[in-house]
Structure 1
Amino acid sequence: MLRTRLDLDRIQAARRVIDPVYLNTPMYRCDALGRRLGCTVSIKLETANPVRSFKGRGTELVTGLLAEQGRTAVVCASAGNLGQALAWSGRRRGLDVTVVASVRAPVAKLDRIRALGAELELVDGDIELARERAVRIAQERGIRLLEDSLDIETCEGAATIGLELTSGETTFDAVLTALGGGAMATGVGYVVKTLAPGAEVICVQPTGAPALTRSWHERRVITTESADTIADGVAGRFPIPEVLDDLLAVADDAVLVRESSIITGMQLLLEHTGLIVEPSAALGVAAVLEDRDRFAGRHIVTVICGSNVDLDAYHRWVRR
């Protein structure tokens, strides 16, 4: 039995709380992409929802709980996708939402947070500085601080993806997930290792933001002084100890990929699936590109976790 903070009964119950617009997202085999990569590839499309990322599954649980408690406000730090999701879920339940983000976050993500009615505060630093400011806001205002990946609701919301992966007749050999703060990797990993233990759970992070991957391999928290990657959604520097403990229990491997492979992954997803994705969503494809022999002839599932990307930057990347 897996020793983690997650609970299968709670995850199954979460599907009754999460707005159905986030559930049962498309999953299909992409033969054209598979031929290019030398393996069978299925994609789980977590961008087919109002916030174009998987984060809404977790924020639905958090805001549902806050509404039950009679709470009226919540604050979070976000690289962009969590903030959009929290704004969407909070507006649905009449909550005042504040999002702290970096001035360097993609403009498309910041504009969407504002459009969804959240108060947006920008800091001149990275996501870690945004987290520090969010903590102060929560203390000053006496409101709930949502901490992505530390708050179990964010992990168990993401874990409902795992329920959908394992509920059909299709079997797979490995699931590849982007690794940032760890909510999706631990959530999906927990369900897959519980319900389909024969499948590998492989987490993928950029070489320019390797903190949690290094921590997994060293079995202790490793921090980095900086992060340098186009995959802004996974660019954390300070892994959360509780999340690392969960990840150690559910992940079979954690790998790093180069920026060039991420860009090629985005190009291949556009060419063979017609999908415009943000860099974090191409990490699974990048991992296959860098280790073809490992995946040759196997059936892999990769989670397309977000498509909120500045189009100008996207066009620069994919036209290289």
Structure 2
Amino acid sequence: MLTTRLDLDRIRVARRAIDPIFLDTPLYECDALGRQLGCAVSIKLETANPVRSFKARGTELVTGLLADQGRVGVVCASAGNLGQALGWSGRRRGLDVTVVASRWAPAAKLDRIRALGAELELVDGDFEAARERAAGIAQQRGVRLVEDSLDIETCEGAATIGLELADRTPSFDAVLIALGGGAMATGVGHVLKTLAPGVEVICVQPAGAPAMTRSWHQRRVVTTDSTSTIADGVAGRYPIRAVLDDLLAVADDAVLVREASIVAGMRMLLERAGLVVEPSAALGVAAILEDPDRFAGRHVVTIICGSNVDLDAYHRWVRS
């Protein structure tokens, strides 16, 4: 029995509570991608929903709970995708949603947060500065602060991806998961290690934002002074101890990949799979590109976690 904060029964209940529009996302083997990478590659397409990322699986649980409690407001810090998801889930339940983000976050993500009706406050600095400001707003207004990965609902919402993978009687032997704060990695990892323990759970993070990966390898919280990566969605500097403990229980490995490999992965997903993705979603392909011998002849699932990308930046990257 795995010892984590997550609970399989609660995750199964979560599956019934989340709006079905975010569930049962496509899972298919992409032959063209696999031929180029030298292994069988299946894609779990978490962008096929109204917010174009997996994050709403968690915000659906959070906002449903708040609505049941009669709460009227909620705030979060976001690199972009969580804010969109919270805006979508909160709006349909009549909640006042405030999102705090770095003013340097991708404009496409910020515009979408506003379009979903959330109050958007921008701060100078990175995600950690946004997190500090969001905590202050929660205290001032007496509203719920949603902290991605720390709040168990965000992890157990993401864990429903693992249920969908396990339901397919896994023919795959490894899953590649983008690693940032850890909600998706701990959630999916927990389910697979419980229901399909033979599947290798591999977390992938940019070398320019290595805090959680370093923490996993050293089995203690390791922070960094800064980040330098185009994968803004996973660019945290301060891992959360409770999330790291969960990750240590369910991940088989955590690897770092170079920026050039992330760009190559984005280009490959466009050319071979017809998918426009944000950098975080290309981390799994980047990991295969950097260590092809490890995956040769295997069947790997990579979770395409988000497609909210600034198109001008995207065109610069894939054309470089």
TM-score with structure 2 setting the length: 1.00
Partner of 2:120: 120
Offset at residue 171 of structure 1 (A): 1.6
Offset at residue 57 of structure 1 (A): 0.1
Q: Per-residue displacement from partner, 1:84-119 (whole Å, max 9, x unpaired)?
A: 000000001000000000000000000000000000
Q: How does 1:85-164 map to 2 (within 5 A)?
A: 85-164=85-164
Q: Per-residue displacement from partner, 1:195-245 (whole Å, max 9, x unpaired)?
A: 000010000000000000000000000000000000000000000000000
What residue identity is the alignment partner of 1:151? Answer: D
Structure 1 portions without partners, runs of 5+:
none
Offset at residue 66 of structure 1 (A): 0.2
Partner of 1:30: 30
Q: How does 1:187-198 map to 2 (within 5 A)?
A: 187-198=187-198
Partner of 2:48: 48
Partner of 1:70: 70
TM-score with structure 1 setting the length: 1.00
Offset at residue 81 of structure 1 (A): 0.1
Offset at residue 174 of structure 1 (A): 0.2
Partner of 2:10: 10
Partner of 1:289: 289
Aligned residues: 320
In 2, Cα distance between equivalents of 1:29 and 1:187: 23
Structure 2 portions without partners, runs of 5+:
none
Q: Secondary structure at the match of 1:16?
A: helix
In 1, Cα distance between equivalents of 2:92 and 2:17: 13
Offset at residue 32 of structure 1 (A): 0.5
Offset at residue 170 of structure 1 (A): 4.1
In 2, Cα distance between equivalents of 1:301 and 1:169: 13
Offset at residue 15 of structure 1 (A): 1.0
Q: Per-residue displacement from partner, 1:240-262 (whole Å, max 9, x unpaired)?
A: 00000000000000000000000
Does structure 1 conserve the Cα–Cα contact (< 8 Å) formed by 2:170 and 2:196?
no
Does structure 1 conserve the Cα–Cα contact (< 8 Å) formed by 2:60 and 2:89?
yes
List structure 1 segments (4+ residues) > 3 angstroms apart after TM superposition: none
In 1, Cα distance between equivalents of 2:170 and 2:248: 26
Q: How does 1:217-232 map to 2 (within 5 A)?
A: 217-232=217-232
Does 2:318 align with 1:318?
yes
Offset at residue 169 of structure 1 (A): 3.4
